[in-house]
Structure 1
Amino acid sequence: MNIYFAAPMFAKSDLLYNAYLVNQLREKYPEVSIYLPQENEAINDKTAYADSQMIALADTEKVLESQLMIALLDGITIDAGVASEIGVAYAKNIPTLGLYTDTRQQGADNQKKIEALQTIGENQFHYLNLYTTGLIKLNGTIYASEEELLTGVSAFIDKEPANDI
């Protein structure tokens, strides 16, 4: 089975977090191949040169070879590259498991936070692009924690036919 790991990758914190999660997955599922774009030196060595077409072709090929996408959704907005990768996965019916850990989602039942939505500029929650999240939900799930995501990956891998792994 091939998994495509879509995630922001331009801050050191992004690179470290991506590697951390992918290492957890690789340890738990050594039989699974996980493509982490930041590991593709041919297009992601930022001291070298890769043009937009090289990047698009290389990563799209890996999305299309995958049977599952994991997409990290945290940030000020969903990373533009991640959103594009989600779109390709959706178009090819590749299930996507999103991870959205933004702490501003906590307290969704807090009445003061809900009432604050009526005051301009007092949104206590974070917004995710509904089109992109809709593409995930039409063919996957969004999880709020790493633990939930790992459980979702386990469920997906366990239901896959043995000859695909």
Structure 2
Amino acid sequence: MNIYFAAPLFAKSEQLYNQSIVSELRTEYPQLNIYLPQENATINDKNAYANSEMIALADTQKVLESQLMIAILDGAVIDPGVASEIGVAYAKGIPVLALYTDTRQQGGRHPEKINALNEIGENQFHYLNLYTVGLVKLNGAVVSTVEALKEALQKYLK
């Protein structure tokens, strides 16, 4: 099975996080062929040159060759490239498993957090773009831990 791993990839912390998850998945599921865009030096070696068309063509081809996408939704906003990749996957009927680990999603029933929603500037929760999340949920799932991601992945390995 080909899997496209859609994730922010420009900060070293993002690259290390992506690599740690992909390494764990590759070790646990050696039968999977996981494409991690940051490993494609042709378009992502930032000391070299790749224009927008080269990047769009290379990554879109890999999305289209995939039977499943894993997408990281963490960040101040969903990474624009990840959102675009999710859109391509949705349009082509490729399921998406999205990982969203933001700790601000915890305590969703806490009454003071709920009441704080009525105060300007006191939102205790993180907002995700609902259109992008909707595309994921229409043909996949959003999970909050790597363990839950592995559990959800099992459904597609059968």
Tell me the TM-score range normalised by the shorter chain: over 0.9
1:95-114 equivalences under 5 Å are 95-114=95-114
CA RMSD of aligned residues (A): 0.5
Moved over 6 A (4+): none
Number of corresponding residues:
158
2:69 match: secondary structure: strand
Whichever residue aligns with residue 92 of structure 1, its letter is K
Once the two structures are superposed, the pairs formed by residues 47-62 of structure 1 within 5 Å of their partners are 47-62=47-62
Structure 2 distance, partners of 1:2, 1:28, is 15
TM score, norm. by length of structure 2: 0.99
Q: How does 1:1-165 map to 2 (within 5 A)?
A: 1-158=1-158
CA distance in 1, matches of 2:13, 2:23: 15
Partner SS for 1:71: strand
Percentage of identical aligned residues: 67
Normalised by the size of structure 1, how large is the TM-score?
A: 0.95
Letter in 1 for 2:29: Y
Unaligned runs of 5+ in 2: none
What is the deviation of 1:3? Answer: 0.2
Deviations 1:108-131, CA, capped at 9 Å, x for gaps: 010000000011111000000000
Report the 3-state secondary structure (helix = DSSP H, G, I; strand = E; otherwise coil) of the residue aligned with 1:98.
strand
Equivalent position of 1:163 in the other structure? none
Give ranges in structure 1 of 5+ residues lacking alignment.
159-165
Q: Secondary structure at the match of 2:124?
A: coil
Equivalent residue of 1:109, what SS? coil
Residue 155 of structure 1 deviates from its aligned partner by 2.2
